[in-house]
Amino acid sequence: MLSFQESILRWYDENKRILPWRDAPSPYSIWISEVILQQTRVDQGTPYYLRFLKTFPNVNSLAEADENSVLAVWQGLGYYARARKLHEAAKIIASGGNAFPNTYDSLMSLPGIGPYTAAAIASIAFGEVVPAIDGNAYRIISRVFNIADPITGNAARKGINSIAKEWISKSRPGDFNQALMDLGATICKPRNPICSSCPLQYGCEANFLKNFHERPVKISKKNSKHRFLIFDLHLSNKKVGFVKISQGNIWRNLFLFPFTEYENEELFVREVERMQEQGALMLCRDLHVLSHQKIHFNTRMLKSTIKPKGMVWRDLNRLEQTPVPAIITKILTHWEYKISRLI
For residue 210, name the pLDDT band (cuts at 50, 70, 90).
very high
Q: Model confidence over 282-306: pLDDT tens digits? A: 988 999 998 889 999 999 999 877 7
Tens-place pLDDT, residues 143-171: 999 999 998 888 899 999 999 999 999 99
Q: Using CA atoms, how far apart are residues 60 and 179, in angstroms rounded to an integer?
A: 31
User: pLDDT grade, residue 58 (50/70/90)?
Assistant: very high
Average pLDDT, the chain: 91
Select which of 14, 34, 67, 205 is catalytic: 34
Q: Tell which wins on pLDDT, 338 or 70.
A: 70
Q: Which residue has the higher pLDDT, 180 or 317?
A: 180
Sign of CA dihedral 9, 12, 18, 21: negative
The pLDDT score that the predictor gives to residue 32 is 98
pLDDT at 283: 86
Class (C level, CATH) for 2-214 = mainly alpha
- Catalytic annotation on 14? no
Asked if 2-214 and 225-342 have one fold, the answer is no
Class of domain 225-342: alpha beta
CA dihedral 100, 101, 107, 110 (to 10 degrees): -60
Determine the pLDDT at residue 340.
61
* Beta bridge partner(s), residue 281: 301
Least confident interval from 48-52, 128-132, 320-324: 320-324
How large is the greatest C-alpha to C-alpha distance in the chain, in angstroms? 73
What pTM value is reported for the model?
Answer: 0.82
Of the chain, the percentage scoring pLDDT greater than 90 comes to 73
- CB 140, CB 189: distance < 8 Å: no
Domain edges within the chain: 2-214, 225-342
DSSP 150: B
Q: What are 238-269's pLDDT values in tens digits? A: 889 999 998 776 898 899 999 999 999 999 99
pLDDT at 2: 66
Q: Which residue has the higher pLDDT, 11 or 81?
A: 11
pLDDT at 258: 94
CA angle 191, 5, 156 (to 5 degrees): 55
The confidence score (pLDDT) of residue 44 equals: 93
Quote the pLDDT of residue 64: 97
pLDDT digits (tens, 9 = 90+) for 78-134: 889 899 999 999 999 999 887 899 999 999 999 999 999 999 999 999 999 999 999
> Which of 234, 225, 226, 223 lies closest to 328, judged by CA?
234
Please say whether the beta carbons of 246 and 316 come within 8 A. no
In order of 231, 241, 255, 258, 337, the CA distances from 237 in angstroms are: 19, 11, 19, 18, 16
Stated length of the chain:
343
